[in-house]
Chains A and B, each alone.
Chain A
């Protein structure tokens, strides 16, 4: 599945999108932290279909996933 990256997370990854496989959101976070080790020391949120999800949930692969560093609007 395609994962959208923003701001500092995209900077660490060197790209604004990654393709990763995972059947749960926790699994996806583990893959992300392997691919972007700096995430372990960062506060970030994961959004599934444009809503932030804090816990775990199953993923079918058709969701829109985004990794969001701290917000800075305003």
Chain B
């Protein structure tokens, strides 16, 4: 893995779903930081979207899982840049943790977490909303939606 001169590149990717117990542990780890007054967490969950497969056979299907893949080196470089920009925009933010799943994530499971902490709520809240949007728009992560009949579609962020 490449490293920029100033900041090490953190790996955001985890194999499989994000365990809610891991999130609870992440929160608990901040108990020693007496300067933190606010945590803001965004969690992405795989949705069982209804899908009507295109012609010839218009059949109602459902998304049963999403298989995520990524162009890892570029995704991690983009994430490092986004992280640095976030700390510049919200200098009071004390920490920012990002995790994204790779592999097959069944509907109902968590696949994405953005967790910011700050002395006060506004910085944490704004930073999380901004980081989530930037990640969705700029990180080369790809999602193969596996349907109930085992066919698939490719997810696209709007």
Whether B112 pairs with A69 at a CB distance below 8 angstroms is no
Whether A71 pairs with B157 at a CB distance below 8 angstroms is yes
Q: Please name the residue on chain A nearest to B144 by beta carbon.
A: A7
- In A10-64, the 8 Å CB interface with B consists of 11, 47, 50-51, 64
B156 interface contact, C-beta 8 A:
yes
| Cβ 8 A contact of A71, one of B66, B112, B138 | B138
Q: Chain B contact residues (Cβ within 8 angstroms of A): what range?
A: 20 to 34
Docked CA distance A45–B35 (Å): 42
Whether A72 pairs with B141 at a CB distance below 8 angstroms is yes
Number of residue pairs spanning A and B whose beta carbons lie under 8 angstroms apart: 71
Q: Tally A residues with Cβ within 8 Å of B.
A: 17
Whether B71 pairs with A74 at a CB distance below 8 angstroms is no
Nearest Cβ on chain A to B43's Cβ, whole angstroms: 10
**Which residues of chain A are near B66, meaning CB under 8 Å?**
72
- Of B66, B74, B75, the most chain A CB neighbours within 10 A belong to B74
Docked CA distance A73–B144 (Å): 11
Whether B135 pairs with A66 at a CB distance below 8 angstroms is no
Q: List 21 A-B contacts (CB under 8 A).
A: A6-B69, A6-B140, A7-B69, A7-B144, A7-B154, A50-B73, A66-B74, A70-B157, A71-B140, A71-B141, A71-B142, A71-B157, A72-B154, A72-B155, A73-B135, A73-B139, A73-B143, A74-B100, A74-B132, A74-B135, A74-B141
